[in-house]
């Protein structure tokens, strides 16, 4: 069972990530609460960039802000050149994608019936 403290901590981390992505002009920032449908992750944060440079800037800003708030135990996966970077924080997973990759994989549609979607 998830505790109220864990949920509050997750919301704080989500806010940090969302603000960092917005600082670098991430497109279509969405937060999906998938806690009722998934036993592995509670939240997905999905945003996109228009170029590899913007994807890299979003990734670096999120990383910088998490570290400045003393949040540890996370790691990035993927290559900027692939158009898809993933940040695994355990109960929160962040997808920073290129525009084409986001349209192709359409993660929001995969989860739409099972998730509560917040448009940030």
Between residues 113 and 90, which one has the greater pLDDT? Answer: 90
In tens, the pLDDT along 28-73 reads 999 999 998 888 999 999 999 999 999 999 999 999 999 999 998 8
pLDDT at residue 1, as a whole number:
43
Calculate helix-pair angle for 52-68, 4-23, nearest 10 degrees. Answer: 140
In tens, the pLDDT along 77-87 reads 999 999 999 99
Tokens encoding 43: 């939240």
Per DSSP, the three-state class of 92 is strand
Per DSSP, the three-state class of 50 is coil
**Domain boundaries 15-119, corresponding CATH code:** 3.30.460.10
pLDDT at residue 3, as a whole number:
55
What pTM, to 2 d.p., does this model score?
Answer: 0.89
């Amino acid at each position: 069972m998830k505790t109220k403290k864990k949920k509050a901590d997750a919301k704080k981390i989500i806010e940090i990530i969302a603000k960092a992505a917005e600082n670098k002009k991430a497109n279509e920032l969405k937060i999906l609460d998938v806690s009722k449908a998934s036993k592995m992750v509670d939240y997905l944060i999905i945003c996109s960039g228009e170029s590899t440079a913007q994807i890299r800037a979003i990734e670096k800003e999120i990383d910088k802000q998490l570290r400045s708030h003393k949040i540890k135990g996370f790691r990035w996966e993927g290559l900027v050149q692939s158009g898809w970077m993933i940040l695994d924080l355990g109960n929160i997973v962040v997808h920073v994608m290129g525009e084409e990759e986001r349209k192709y994989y359409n993660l929001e549609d995969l989860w739409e019936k099972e998730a509560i979607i917040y448009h940030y």
